């Protein structure tokens, strides 16, 4: 089974873009720590229903551990629980915030963010490269931050996929 753990930011952006179902096309199940779900529900009660409709999201309680308490010192609750759950289950994790990505990588986790997921959607032919780039552009317009260098790398990767 193809599983992944997710932090909050990517889910918020995908919900804004009406693209939560994209993750369901890429993974059999997306594990959502309870702290992430709590963050998602703050100010957006509809997201729970949208996630249930998508059918691949599963909210999971994360047990308190010394490692989790240490993560709380450096990260917000959602990021800390996402990393702890990924470590416990030995799964990759979706995180977009720089600090969270750095700590996850230090803990030897496989990390992917929104931009990587969009490229993956094109590679797996869920989205055409053109539609993937349009989704990335919409994400940027809705507040997703991405360096111009990384944007160009993604455009290049998507054009390579289109050539295949």
**Residues 118-141 pLDDT 10s:** 999 999 999 999 999 999 999 999
The confidence score (pLDDT) of residue 133 equals: 97
Return the bridge partners of 60, or none.
33
Kindly list the distances between the CA atom of residue 15 and the CA atoms of 3, 48, 148, in Å, as whole numbers in the listed order.
20, 10, 24
- Average pLDDT estimate for 83-103: 97
The confidence score (pLDDT) of residue 50 equals: 77
Instruction: Locate CATH 3.40.50.1010 in the chain.
Output: 3-112
Q: Which residues contact 134 (CB under 8 A, 6 or more apart)?
A: none
* 48 band by pLDDT with thresholds 50, 70 and 90: confident
Return the bridge partners of 5, or none.
31, 93
- Average pLDDT estimate for 36-65: 85
pLDDT at 164 over 80: no
* 51 band by pLDDT with thresholds 50, 70 and 90: confident
Q: Which residues contact 153 (CB under 8 A, 6 or more apart)?
A: none
Cα–Cα nearest to 106, from 146, 67, 61, 64: 67
pLDDT at 44 over 80: no
The confidence score (pLDDT) of residue 130 equals: 96
- Average pLDDT estimate for 7-12: 93
CATH 3.40.50.1010 applies to domain 3-112: yes
- Strands of 93-94's sheet, edge to edge? 57-60, 29-33, 3-6, 93-94, 111-112
């Amino acid at each position: 089974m193809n599983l992944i753990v997710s932090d909050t930011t990517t889910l918020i952006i995908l919900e804004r873009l009406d693209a939560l179902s994209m993750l369901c096309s890429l993974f059999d199940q997306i594990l959502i720590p309870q702290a992430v779900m709590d963050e998602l529900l703050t100010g957006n009660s509809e997201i729970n229903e949208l996630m249930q409709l998508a059918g691949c999201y599963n909210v999971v309680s994360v047990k308190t551990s010394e490692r989790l308490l240490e993560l709380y010192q450096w990260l917000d609750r959602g990021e800390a629980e996402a990393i702890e759950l990924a470590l416990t289950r030995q799964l990759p994790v979706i995180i977009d915030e720089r600090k969270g990505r750095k700590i996850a990588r230090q803990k030897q986790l496989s990390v992917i963010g929104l931009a990587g997921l969009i490229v993956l959607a094109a590679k797996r032919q869920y989205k055409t490269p053109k539609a993937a780039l349009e989704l990335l552009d919409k994400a940027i317009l809705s507040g997703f931050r991405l360096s111009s260098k990384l944007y160009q790398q993604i455009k290049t990767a998507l054009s390579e996929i289109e050539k295949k």
